Amino acid sequence: MTGRGPTIRRAALLVTLAALAFLAAGAKPCPAQLLADSDERPSIPGFERPRFDAEALRAEAVTVHATPPGQADAAAPGEEPAPAKPSPLPDARDAMRTASTMALYGLMWLAPMGVLMLTAFVRIEIVLVLLRQAMGSPQVPSNQVLMVLALLLTALVMRPVGERVYQDAIVPLQAGKAAPAEAWEAGSAPIKGFMVDQIVRTKHADYLWALYHHARPPGPGRAEPKYGHEFPFRIVAPAYLLSELTTALVMGFYLYLPFLVIDLAVSAVLAAMGLYMLPPTLVAMPVKMIVFVLADGWLLVSTMLLSSFAGPGG
């Protein structure tokens, strides 16, 4: 009997808990009862609870989903929708106008470069770049500084030619005394004369003949030019550019020689001292700089470049 007492009490406790759980579940209101109770609640004065029509909402949803996008406001009820307008085809004249505009912009971008190629800028710029490399300092002076210096020296060289072009071509054209073709002939004559003078001065007249025979092969009854100014402009311009490149490289070679001597002397001294691990350029560069400054190198190079263009037409 003593062993059955706790078992009986435990069973009674379980039965009691099950009964309480059943009563609690039965006491909860069902959803229908909740809706009924909500309808019986007193209403607040001045407030009316919204009522929804399920059928109307369902019909509106079906209508919205059935209407294609972009056609809801296309036409009013009872009216026929307007026909779609075909997209216009591109006009050939517009395409040609666009191509002409792009070609004009390209020529405007290339015009300053082409004008510089016909002046003293090519020789001066190449000589200054070679001088910087001979000194062993590829970044000092910078490209911008060298370009500005080359432009200023070019302006000094080309000033007489520019004045002649202004007086012979621009002034008559602005006054209406010359047509554009006549102004071009009058303005290109001083420039062509300058280029021919430099070609002859640097002893590169054979460039003119080589390009002339390549562009216009000799034929029977064709008069050959005898003087430099008789060559056409399209022959003189490339011959002048080739002549300037050759002359600039020759001048750069002469500028390299003193710096090359300094490099050899520094290398010999370091080898005699047994400093094989010390780079010769590390010692030669400050020596080159101090020698160049003491010799007033920038003024010497500038005057050499200006004097190389001196002469007729320069």
Domain boundaries, given as residue ranges, for the chain: 104-308
The CB density around residue 43, as the number of other CB atoms within 10 Å, is 8
What is the model's pLDDT at position 182?
Answer: 83
Cα separation of 248 and 254, whole Å? 10
Q: Which amino acid does the sequence have at 169?
A: A
What is the rounded average pLDDT of the residues 236-259?
91
Are 198 and 242 within 8 A, CB to CB? no
CA distances from residue 65 to 107, 236, 314 in whole angstroms, order as listed: 58, 78, 85
Cα separation of 140 and 285, whole Å? 12
Are 169 and 187 within 8 A, CB to CB? yes
Residue 107 has pLDDT above 90, yes or no: no
What is the model's pLDDT at position 173?
Answer: 82
What is the rounded average pLDDT of the residues 177-187?
82
The model's confidence at residue 35, banded by pLDDT at 50, 70 and 90, is very low
Q: What is the pLDDT of residues 121-156, one digit of tens each?
A: 999 999 999 999 888 887 888 889 999 999 999 999
Cα separation of 118 and 98, whole Å? 30
What is the model's pLDDT at position 36?
Answer: 47
Residue 49 has pLDDT above 90, yes or no: no
Q: What Rg value do the Cα atoms of the chain yield, rounded?
A: 48
Pick from 6-10, 190-194, 231-235, 288-292: least confident: 6-10
- Residue in 201, 195, 205 with CA at minimum distance from that of residue 308: 201
Pick from 121-135, 172-186, 235-249: least confident: 172-186
Q: Which residue's structure tokens are 């296309």?
A: 74
What is the model's pLDDT at position 242?
Answer: 93
Q: Which amino acid does the sequence have at 55?
A: E
The CB-side HSE value for 187 (13 A sphere, CA atoms) comes to 16
SS3 204: coil
The CB-side HSE value for 4 (13 A sphere, CA atoms) comes to 1
The model's confidence at residue 108, banded by pLDDT at 50, 70 and 90, is confident
SS3 187: helix
Cα separation of 273 and 270, whole Å? 5
- Residue in 304, 308, 303, 306 with CA at minimum distance from that of residue 159: 306
- Residue in 91, 314, 111, 86 with CA at minimum distance from that of residue 197: 314
Residue 295 has pLDDT above 70, yes or no: yes
Pick from 54-68, 123-137, 170-184, 185-199: least confident: 54-68
- Residue in 124, 121, 128 with CA at minimum distance from that of residue 143: 128
Calculate the dihedral angle through the C-alpha atoms of 54, 55, 57, 62, rounding to the nearest 10 degrees.
140
What is the model's pLDDT at position 75?
Answer: 47
- Residue in 194, 214, 213 with CA at minimum distance from that of residue 202: 194
